[in-house]
Amino acid sequence: MVILPPATAGDGFGELRAGNLGVRLARTEAEIEAGLRLRYQVFYDEMGAIPSLEAARTHLDIDVFDNVADHLLVIDHELGDGVRAVVGTYRLIREEAADRLGRFYSSDEYDISRILAYTGRKLELGRSCVQREYRGRAAMQLLWRGIAAYVNLHHIELMFGCASLPGTDPEAIANELTYLAANHLAPAEIRPRALAARYVEMNRRDINLLDARRVLATLPPLMKGYLRLGGFVGDGAVIDTQFNTTDVAVVVMTELVTDKYTKHYERQNRELPD
């Protein structure tokens, strides 16, 4: 597959810095490829996803959506400014980009017709990963800062995508699925529903018997990040055998993202000495 130039080349928000780390959109084909290679290392080499023959040959995690997406990158400037410095990535697909393919990625797993009917501008998030050595709080917060800047730049009002829980046995994560469905189900008017052929029931335990704090602590960091922003989950989970995960649809109203990060960094600026 040919990697096209970034969807918004030259139309980004610059770079946001936190110490030696920076976050910005990929600007070149080589930078996009660096993100795809990082995704392969994390999803296939580390997490046990099953590669296609082409993916195994190229060591790139790539699909048709990468040709229309923007690619958010975390850069460690202590490693330089080239492709070797890419240590995190997030794939961003706006409506205009999805229209070029006639669908969003999530539609392979979920009925997203209610999201599509929402009148505000929409953004699909996906393929988030960070190199193992950078999975502390700083890199993930920087990715969220980048998303907030992107949301402001393009006037996005609703974000959605799929967040993954490890493994393909719903019973092994029954507590987590039950907690999410019982406490964070999206409002009906924007609620995705797993496609009938792939639908996995999330309400698998008696919610009254669960220790909510303990269950919340076991959720992956990305899922907890969505919940901290007031995110919701869809109806039903989906097993993704290729990626060795159980997927849950997530929906976030973006004013929660921009408000959180605007207030956070305004507060930081006020605390800085003159």
> Is residue 236 very low, low, confident or very high in pLDDT (cuts 50, 70, 90)?
very high
Strands (E), 61-114: 70-76, 86-94, 110-111
Average pLDDT in the 194-210 region?
Answer: 97
Can you tell me the distance from the alpha carbon of 113 to that of 33, in angstroms, rounded to the nearest whole number? Answer: 32
Can you tell me the distance from the alpha carbon of 39 to that of 60, in angstroms, rounded to the nearest whole number? Answer: 7
The Cβ of residue 83 has, within 10 Å, a number of other Cβ atoms equal to: 19
Residue 271: the pLDDT is 40
How buried is residue 82: exposed, middle or buried, by Cβ count under 10 Å (0-12/13-18/19+)? Answer: exposed
CA-wise closest residue to 109 among 203, 243, 199 = 199
Average pLDDT in the 53-60 region?
Answer: 96
Average pLDDT in the 221-225 region?
Answer: 91
For the cut 50, the answer to whether the pLDDT of residue 273 exceeds it is no
* CATH (residue range 90-271): 3.40.630
Do the Cβ atoms of 231 and 250 come closer than 8 Å?
Answer: yes
Average pLDDT in the 71-94 region?
Answer: 94
Residue 234: the pLDDT is 98
Average pLDDT in the 225-242 region?
Answer: 95
> Is residue 7 very low, low, confident or very high in pLDDT (cuts 50, 70, 90)?
low
For the cut 60, the answer to whether the pLDDT of residue 269 exceeds it is no
Average pLDDT in the 207-235 region?
Answer: 94
> Is residue 272 very low, low, confident or very high in pLDDT (cuts 50, 70, 90)?
very low
Can you tell me the distance from the alpha carbon of 195 to that of 172, in angstroms, rounded to the nearest whole number? Answer: 22
Taking only the tens place, the pLDDT of each residue in 172-181 is 999 999 999 9
Average pLDDT in the 40-62 region?
Answer: 96
HSE-up (13 A, CA, CB side) for residue 73: 31
Domain ranges of the chain: 90-271
Amino acid found at 215: V
Can you tell me the distance from the alpha carbon of 248 to that of 237, in angstroms, rounded to the nearest whole number? Answer: 5
How buried is residue 189: exposed, middle or buried, by Cβ count under 10 Å (0-12/13-18/19+)? Answer: exposed
